[in-house]
Structure formats: C-alpha cells, structure tokens
Structure 1
Amino acid sequence: MITTRLHWSRDGAGEPLVLLHGVGSTHDDFATLRVSLCAEYDVLAADLPGHGRSSALDGTPTVDAITDAVEADLDALGLGRVHVLGNSLGARVGLELARRHRAWSVVAIAPPGLNAPVERAWQGLLLGTARVVLRTGRAWIEPLSRRRPGRAVLLGGLRAWPWRASRAEALAVRDGLADADAFWTTLWHAVLADVPTGLDDVDCPVVLAQGVLDGVAAGQTVRYLLAVPGARFRPLAAAGHAPQSDRPGAIVRLLREARSAA
C-alpha cells in the first residue's frame, strides 16, 4: 500500500500531469478541466496541506515546506519528473518544483510572490474577507452550489464566468476556504510573505498565464519573465484569477504548448 502525505485524486492515462490549486480551494477547483485532461494525461490532483482532505503540516506552511510535501508524495508514487498545472499558490509551488528539477513543463496561472507590498495587502484583504464571509455563512454554501446563480455568488471573485463552474468547483470553497485548517498560516507564509529565489535554475519550459479580468493578483505574473529563463507569458482573455472553468480549452492548449517544448 502506497502512503502519501497529501490526498490525491488520480485518473486518466499518459504522461503524468500534477494539478495544484490555490490557497482556499481543493483539487476540485479543476473539476471541469479534468474531464479534458484525463484524455491526454495521467492526471494527479492534490489537496494542498491543510486544505480539503489533506492534513496540515507539522511545521510552518511555507512554499518550500508545501513543495517538500508534494515532492515526497511524488517519490512515494514512483514519479520522477512530471508536467505541472498550477493556479495561484499552486502555480508558485509548480515553479518551485521546476527549480528542483522535478518538472518536465509548467503552466503557472497567476503565481504570487513578485507583487508589491500594496498588492500583497490587497490580495490578503480579498482572500481574508472571503474566508470570514464564507466561514460565517458556511451553511449556505451547499444550497448555493446547486444552482448557477448560487455558484456565481460563491465564485464571483475568482472566476470571470462563475456560473459556468460545476457544483464540485463551488463546493471547493467550502472545503478549502471556509473549513481549511491551515488557511491563515498558509495565506501569510506561502502567499503574502513569500519572496521567490533561485528561479534562474529552472531548466524546463514554463508558460505563465493570467486572466485579463484577474482582480486578485494584479499584474504580478508577467514579472516572472525576468526570473524564469525562457518563460513565455500568455494572457487569458475573458478570464479571472482562477480561470479553470472560464477558459478550459485555452488552458489545455497552454499545456500542449509547454509539453511540446519539453
């Protein structure tokens, strides 16, 4: 029996593709997108530490510590290098995996870490407020998730077209935002206080992407072009901060672009 540190959902066949969500969500944030991805990849979607069905780390949940947990699980699963698709914090962890030479390619959507202090404060205010509101109104999350207008309410700050999201994606904010054990410590240590270093060691293709309607992460993604050798930036039209169900077809094409360059 294989023992892993994190909870993983695995399906599909092909080259391994790891999906990593942002702070305040779970692996179900990729529910719509996974339908297409499983036709091309062996898809492994994780709940990051302290989110969903994954236990919190024993120590401080920095990007390094979270990446340690992901990397240890890849070892336990017998996987070396993998393709990575990450959103927000998951994108930042994906870039760290690339720095450690564990990625064949990375598609990083709206990674944090290179934002200015005022942008960090804004991001923290938005995410922190969402946590308080959803935790207070937790009993309403499940009923709201059943209908498109309700899903628009739950995901309105993250997606440009939140009513397009599936019920599973809407419920991810319950398990990853309202209920997450490690939300506040992860938000602080892995998002607001994180400063990336050593990304000039990345030796795989990296495609950076950000929704043009992203009101959470401002314009920080494009700054990674100066930090990651050979990285390319692709704006996602009509897409928000977590655009998995805003532009699923475009994200699949980004993965193909990155994989073809590997």
Structure 2
Amino acid sequence: MTVTTLEHDRAGRGEPLVLLHGFGSTRDDFTALLPALTASFEVWSFDLPGHGASPMIDGVPSVAALTAAVVAELDAQGLDTVHVLGNSLGARIALELACEGRARSVVAISPSGLGTPAERVHQANLMVTSRLLNVARRPFIDALSETAAGRTLLLAGMRARPWRASPTEARIGKDGFGAQRGFWSTLVNAIVVDVPRHLRRIDCPVIVAQGSWDIVGSGQTPRYTPFIRDARFVVLPGGGHAPMSDNPELIVDLVHHAARRAGAVSTP
C-alpha cells in the first residue's frame, strides 16, 4: 500500500488533538467545535483518504489501511501519541489508533463496526442514498448552504438540528459524498464488513457517545463499552449521528474530561 499525505488544518496550542470525520464527510464537519478546542489543544483536523482534499490510498481501504494512513501522517508531523475526537468511521479509526497505542485519550461519537447484519444493511443504504443525492445536487450545494432551509436539506439525517450548522459545515457533502474517491470500496471494506478485533488492547481513557436522535448508528455505540476497559458511554441529548453543531458544548466537555483522565494539565 502506498501511503499518501493527508490534507489537514492545524490551529491552537497545547497537547495535540486529532479530529477524524465520518464516512462521506470532510474535516469541515468539526467547524463548530474549533474555537473552544483550539483554546486548549493544538488541533489537527484531517481529511481521511479519498475525502475532501486527501488522495485515496492504494489497495483495499479497510479500517486497518485507513488507520495506517493516519499513523503515517502522525509520524510525518512528528506526533507520537495524541488525543483523538472522531465521528462515525473517524470514531472507529480513533479506537483503532488506541488499539495501536497512538492515542492518549479518545472520544468516539457513533463509531461504526459493531452493527448487526440488519443494521449494516440499513447504514449502507443510507450512505448510498447520501452519495446519490450529493452527486446530483453538488452544483447547488454552495447556494443551498447559505440559508437555514438549505442547510436543513443538506444535513438532514446527519444533524438533528441541521439549520443550526454553519454554511461551511453544510458544504461538507460537496467534497465528501459528492466527490469522494473510492466510495464503494471504502463503504464495503471499512463499513459493511468491518469488525473490531483488538479492543482489549486499549489502555487509554475512552468515551463513546451517541446522539439521542441518531438514525444512522442504530445501537452500535453502547456495545463498545464491555470490550474496552473503563470505557464510558454518554448520550448526547437531541444530537444526530454527526452532532458537532447539535451538542458542541457537551462534546468539548467530553474531550476535556477524557484528556484530564489521561493526565493532561492544560485543559480547563
């Protein structure tokens, strides 16, 4: 496999915190959280392989391969262990980083990987629908993102209160689902058939969280807690599958809490 450089943004000062978005999204999905997070951390926001401005990896895009691409980027940036906040596929990769000893703490929002066969089919159908919709409406996404009604249309199903999102967040589908490279192979290998295997290795603080209105992740998230030592499960009231602008203050608090459990001293 050829590892490619992942596009990223870097801001803030403090211990390193890596943000990993979900399948079909981009690093802009975390826009609502950045002001608070950069006040306490050096924040690195990555576009996952094939998403946004990051090129696709060679070979099969399994979770292990996508994680290897993230690890290679951490190495290239001189980052050893980092705090990680991930959503959906990004949350699944965050847990894999913890399995490999590269995470100081993890907040995993709606991680994929522990769905039943029926839940996997449901999730795959939703992802295919999002792909087709965003490819079709890609020329109109910029204009739609400028109004509350347009943002609701663009983010319905992912945010519980999509009208609250910023135009930047509403445009994630343009370079996410709408232009994602390797969509089908990533969907199959990193979502549909993926099963976590080494969760017992995790020895850093982990919080798994899920929005109370998440219609994508089904019951996967709380299933992680028995397999991860001292993992804590949290419900995000009124949050969707990607609740970054639904519950920004609560998510930031969870990141701070996990970092404090890991011994970070720079967080409030």
Question: Common fold, TM-score beyond 0.5?
Answer: yes
Quick check: 47-56 or 166-175, which moved more? 166-175
Alignment partner, residue 36 of structure 1: 36
1:175-227 deviation per Cα after TM superposition (whole angstroms, max 9, x unaligned): 01111112221111111110000110001000000001000010110000111
User: Hey, what's the Cα distance between the residues in 2 that align with 1:124 and 1:50?
Assistant: 18
User: Hey, what's the Cα distance between the residues in 2 that align with 1:16 and 1:182?
Assistant: 29
User: Hey, what's the Cα distance between the residues in 2 that align with 1:226 and 1:115?
Assistant: 15
1:80-126 deviation per Cα after TM superposition (whole angstroms, max 9, x unaligned): 10000000000000000000000000000000110100000000001
> What pairs up with 1:182-221 in 2 under 5 angstroms?
182-221=182-221
Matched to 2:63, the amino acid is V
> What pairs up with 1:1-262 in 2 under 5 angstroms?
5-262=5-262
User: Hey, what's the Cα distance between the residues in 2 that align with 1:156 and 1:36?
Assistant: 25
Runs of 5+ consecutive residues of structure 1 not aligned to the other structure: none
Q: CA deviation at 1:79?
A: 0.7
User: Hey, what's the Cα distance between the residues in 2 that align with 1:134 and 1:6?
Assistant: 23
Quick check: 116-125 or 29-38, which moved more? 29-38
Matched to 2:257, the amino acid is E
User: Hey, what's the Cα distance between the residues in 1 that align with 2:192 and 2:209?
Assistant: 20
Matched to 1:158, the amino acid is M
- In 2, are the aligned partners of 1:51 and 1:183 still within 8 Å (CA)? no
Moved over 6 A (4+): none
User: Hey, what's the Cα distance between the residues in 2 that align with 1:4 and 1:45?
Assistant: 16
Q: CA deviation at 1:4?
A: 6.5
SS of the residue corresponding to residue 177 of structure 1 reads: coil
- In 2, are the aligned partners of 1:86 and 1:108 still within 8 Å (CA)? yes
SS of the residue corresponding to residue 59 of structure 2 reads: coil
Matched to 2:253, the amino acid is R
- In 2, are the aligned partners of 1:87 and 1:109 still within 8 Å (CA)? yes
- In 2, are the aligned partners of 1:4 and 1:76 still within 8 Å (CA)? no
Percent of aligned pairs sharing the same letter: 52
Runs of 5+ consecutive residues of structure 2 not aligned to the other structure: 263-268
User: Hey, what's the Cα distance between the residues in 2 that align with 1:140 and 1:233?
Assistant: 38
Matched to 2:24, the amino acid is G
- In 2, are the aligned partners of 1:56 and 1:181 still within 8 Å (CA)? yes
1:148-192 deviation per Cα after TM superposition (whole angstroms, max 9, x unaligned): 110010001100110111111111111011111122211111111
Matched to 1:59, the amino acid is G
Matched to 1:58, the amino acid is D
Alignment partner, residue 266 of structure 2: none
Tell me the C-alpha RMSD between the 2 structures.
Answer: 1.0
User: Hey, what's the Cα distance between the residues in 1 that align with 2:124 and 2:38?
Assistant: 34
Matched to 1:112, the amino acid is S
TM-score, normalised via structure 1 length? 0.98
Matched to 1:225, the amino acid is T
